[in-house]
Structure 1
C-alpha cells in the first residue's frame, strides 16, 4: 500500500497510474484505495490516502516518487530556478557555483549541485538569484514547482523551478 496526499485531480479504483521519480517508469492499475482504514472508490485533491497497486512489488515505489496519470509528468535531474536565501540568523549562508545542496521537493530529498547564472559569483543571505541545478537522482518535476534547500546542514532558502532542462 502506497500512502500520500492527492495534490491535484482524482484517482479511482481501476485507473492506470505511473510511478514517476528515481528508478521509475512502472505503470499499474489501482486495485484499492483507503482513507483512514476505510475502502473508498475515489479520492480527490487534498485527501490523504493509501493506494494498492495490482502487480507491483512493495519495493517498486520509494519516498519522493509520485503516482500520476501516465505521461502527465516526467522525472528530471536538471532545471533552472529562481532562489531566495534566508537571513543569516535563520540559516542563510553564501552560495557559490559548485556548492552541493540538499533539495526538498514534495517528499523527495536529493543532493544537487548549483551553478549561478548571469556572471554572479556569490549569492549572499537575503538575496535572490537565478541558478541551474543538477540533481543526483531523478525527481518528478514541473515548472512552477517550489522547493526548499539546505546548506551546511541548515535550512538555507527556497526557490521555484522556472525551466526544466531536458
Structure 2
C-alpha cells in the first residue's frame, strides 16, 4: 500500500489534471483514498473510507435515465431449456417494461413468434416486473428451445418489424483512430453486429463513388442477408470489431449509425425522419 503522503498528493493532482483535460470537473471531483485490504482487515480508518467512497459515488455519479416509457425491447443473448418448465431467454432489457403474464413477440430472422412471458428472474430472484437496464431471464410459454436463438429480439407485440435494407451516412475511422487500414468498394460484404446478432450484408456506394478510404464520410446502401429489426440512430459494428463512427450521432467510435428511416411502402413501420434516408423491408 502506498503511504508516501507527497506521492499520494502528486497522484491526486495528476488525476485531477486528467479529468480537466477531458472536460470533467477535476478540481471539484472528490478523490477518496481507499484500501480494500485494510478495510477487510478491520482497520477503522479504511472501513470508513469505503463508506465515504460509496457516499461520494451516490452523490456524484448520476443514475442513467431508463427508457421505461418506450415499448419493451430485449435483445436475446442466450437461450436455455429448463426441463419441466420451458424455454428461457436471457438478455438486458434495452427499453420499456414487462410483467409476468404479458404477451410478447420474438422477432426472428424472417418471421415473428407470439408467446407469453410466464416468468421473470434476475440474479436468482423471481420478479413480477422488469424494467429497462435489467439483465433478466424470461420464461416463454410454449416455445421450444430450437425455435429461438441469440441475435433475435423480444418485443412488445406489434412494436417493431424486421428490415433487410437501410441507408446509412457514416464516417469510417482511419488507421490512426483505430479503424481500417485499407479501402473498400461497392459490393463489399462484411459482417454487421447489430445488437446481439451477427449478419452478413452487402454495401452499395452512391453513384460516382468508386471506393471508400479510411477517414471518409460516405452515404451507403446496406442490404442484409436476413431481416433484423432496425431503427433510426441505432448502432452496429463492422467485421472484426473494427470501430466505425456514424456522423451526426454521438457514437464514441462504437459503430455506424442509421441516420434515418422513412417508409416507402405500406408494409413499413413508423419512423422518425430528420434527414434524407430510406429503408425498405423484405420480410
Q: What is the TM-score of this pair, normalised by structure 2?
A: 0.55
Structure 1 unaligned spans of 5+: none
Match of 1:102 in 2: 191
Determine whether 1:159 maps to 2:259.
no
Q: What is the TM-score of this pair, normalised by structure 1?
A: 0.92
Structure 2 unaligned spans of 5+: 1-87, 245-254, 262-278
- Counterparts of 2:189 and 2:156, CA distance in 1: 32
State the Cα distance separating 1:14 from its structure 2 match. Answer: 0.6
- Counterparts of 2:243 and 2:213, CA distance in 1: 11
State the Cα distance separating 1:24 from its structure 2 match. Answer: 3.4
Match of 2:160 in 1: 73
Computing the radius of gyration from Cα coordinates, the structure with the larger value is 2
RMSD (CA atoms): 1.5
Q: Does 1 or 2 have the higher relative contact order (CA < 8 Å, sep 6+)? A: 1
For 1:16-165, list aligned pairs within 5 A: 16-89=103-176, 90-92=178-180, 93-150=182-239, 153=240, 155=242, 157=244, 158-161=255-258, 162-163=260-261, 164-165=279-280
Q: Specify which structure has the higher proportion of strand.
A: 1
Q: Which moved more, 1:64-73 or 1:134-143?
A: 134-143
Aligned length in residues: 164
